[in-house]
Amino acid sequence: MNRKEEFFNHITEGYKTKGDFLILGSAMLDGETLKDAYVKVPLRTLNRHGLIAGATGTGKTKSLQVLAENLSEKGIPVLLMDVKGDLSGLAKSSPGHAKIDERHAAIGLPFEPKSFPVEILTISEQEGLRMRATVSEFGPVLLSRILNLTDTQSGIVSILFKYCDDQQLPLLDLKDFRKILQFATNQGRGEIQEEYGRISSASTGSILRKIVELEQQGGDLFFGEKSFDVDDLTRIDEEGRGVISILRLTDIQDKPKLFSTFMLQLLAEVYSTFPEQGDSDKPELIIFIDEAHLVFKEASKTLLSQIESVVKLIRSKGVGLYFVTQNPKDVPQDVLAQLGMKIQHALRAFTAKDRKAIKLASENYPDSEYYDTDKVLTQLGIGEAFVSVLDRKGRPTPLAATMMRAPMSRMDILDEKELKELLDNSKLASKYNEEIDRESAYEMLNKKIEVANKKGEKERKEVAKKKSSRSTRKSTRMNPVLKVVTSATFIRGVLGILKRVMQ
């Protein structure tokens, strides 16, 4: 048996699986694609999370697209965070190409162009279904972590949430929270302090500045009603395909705090809402986070800790998280250690630092007698990647340089007309695109302040009136000497004396 035959048996045995699975492509050896040496992923291990990495232009986005398509076909809903804006083509079938046919002939898979059920979402001013959440849904702990508050400031936030709960003041958007901060610092300071303890105006001022910073990054668009129901991310269409929800994020690349805020709230909501699933035959939802370095780059230690905790726990809810980035080092080590599937496209070595990074990246993969991993990493072509997944028993499969299959949908974006048609046909548009601004803490506290101001004004007028009355009485009270001098008896006496003198 020659080396090629040994490798073929090594791959087919290593990727043998029972139950349903996805085919990513076919294994390669010495630059040659081995037909029918399929690299497979068992559906039951997809909730163990994953990583898609590689230099710009090596095919990361197309690998993401292939995974989303095949998941949808298996009835698994998908959420894609589209930072670059190049995934909307999933809604239209591929026009085909001779190179695609050539690729699939080498892999041993037929190519069939297809379109997929797509829903366009947004958390900014872009067109799409509006995803919102209320301040109350965040809760004091998560809100404090997002704002990176100190322990003292976090305690104040907890007090204000408790006060609003006790007073039945709904905290829906950021203007509600700003109002309660101002109220606690001014008119309501005595009331809150008497019941819940002292609140420092310096601390409330610091919290307010961080709220303003979040507003400037677009947080005022995200916080509010109607809250997005995460169950709408798990829809299946009439043909039994999972709906692919694409969240457009092209205009928030320079707003990392808003992105992190959204990410944490979404994952927390999914974790608290979805039932425990354990190890089932297929996941409930797969979430792809493109340009994942944006999540981690500006994150505080507290925020990173929260993300790490969610990654560890959320798979029990049947949810898989897949991070897409240029280099594995963009993902914290504690998160990277939780990722079962790794698809590594080519890395480029232009400097000594790049070569060290490639050496470190190669160490994330199982050892292989068939590959000099760090060398092959720099030689992979477009649409080729090192792949390692988990088998049904949770063990890493053999490392395979893989010719990835081509997307069945369009590898380009929708034009404006196509996008409008997609949005117009959305079954959820009427549910989420109506902006609601019902009476909440902002309006209620304004009324409370207005009543207090009227009462204070009335009391001030009464005090002023009493002072004026006392002043009038005082002014009419005569000096004793003057009173004697001007009395009738005194006048008659003086006149009598004058009369006698004149006589």
Q: Is 259 exposed, middle or buried (0-12, 13-18, 19+ CB in 10 A)?
A: buried
Q: Is 252 exposed, middle or buried (0-12, 13-18, 19+ CB in 10 A)?
A: buried
Q: For 163-176, b where at least 16 C-beta lie within 10 A, e where not — what string?
A: bbeeeebbbbbbbb
CB of 326 closer than 8 Å to CB of 55: yes
- State residue 490's pLDDT score: 45
* Segment (H or E) for 310: helix 301-314
319-325 and 285-289 strand pairing:
parallel
Please tell me the distance from the alpha carbon of residue 129 to that of residue 138, in angstroms, as a whole number: 20
Residues 6+ apart with CB under 8 A from 438: 170, 172, 225
Residue 286 vs residues 47, 245, 270: alpha-carbon distances, Å:
7, 10, 11
Q: Which of 420, 378, 425, 424 has the alpha carbon at shortest distance from 401?
A: 378
Please tell me the distance from the alpha carbon of residue 51 to that of residue 410, in angstroms, as a whole number: 23
Q: Which of 62, 77, 45, 61 has the alpha carbon at shortest distance from 338?
A: 45
- State residue 489's pLDDT score: 52
- State residue 483's pLDDT score: 53
* Segment (H or E) for 366: none
Q: Which of 328, 271, 267, 332 has the alpha carbon at shortest distance from 305?
A: 332
- State residue 244's pLDDT score: 97
- State residue 486's pLDDT score: 53
Please tell me the distance from the alpha carbon of residue 311 to that of residue 339, in angstroms, as a whole number: 9
- State residue 295's pLDDT score: 74
Please tell me the distance from the alpha carbon of residue 328 to that of residue 368, in angstroms, as a whole number: 19
What's the first-to-final CA gap in the chain, in angstroms?
A: 164
Residue 276 has what DSSP assignment?
A: P
Please tell me the distance from the alpha carbon of residue 363 to that of residue 60, in angstroms, as a whole number: 20
Q: What is the dihedral of CA 143, 146, 152, 153, to 10 degrees?
A: -70
Residue range 3-131+228-408, CATH number: 3.40.50.300
Q: Mean pLDDT per segment of 10 residues, for the chain of length 503 residues?
A: 89 90 95 94 94 92 95 96 88 94 95 95 85 87 84 92 90 90 87 86 91 83 86 94 92 71 83 86 92 74 78 91 90 89 90 83 86 91 94 91 96 91 89 74 77 64 68 56 51 51 51
Please tell me the distance from the alpha carbon of residue 45 to that of residue 31, in angstroms, as a whole number: 29
Please tell me the distance from the alpha carbon of residue 206 to that of residue 133, in angstroms, as a whole number: 23
Residues 6+ apart with CB under 8 A from 275: 317
Residue 188 has what DSSP assignment?
A: T
Please tell me the distance from the alpha carbon of residue 290 to that of residue 61, in angstroms, as a whole number: 8
Please tell me the distance from the alpha carbon of residue 401 to that of residue 344, in angstroms, as a whole number: 9
Please tell me the distance from the alpha carbon of residue 395 to that of residue 222, in angstroms, as a whole number: 40
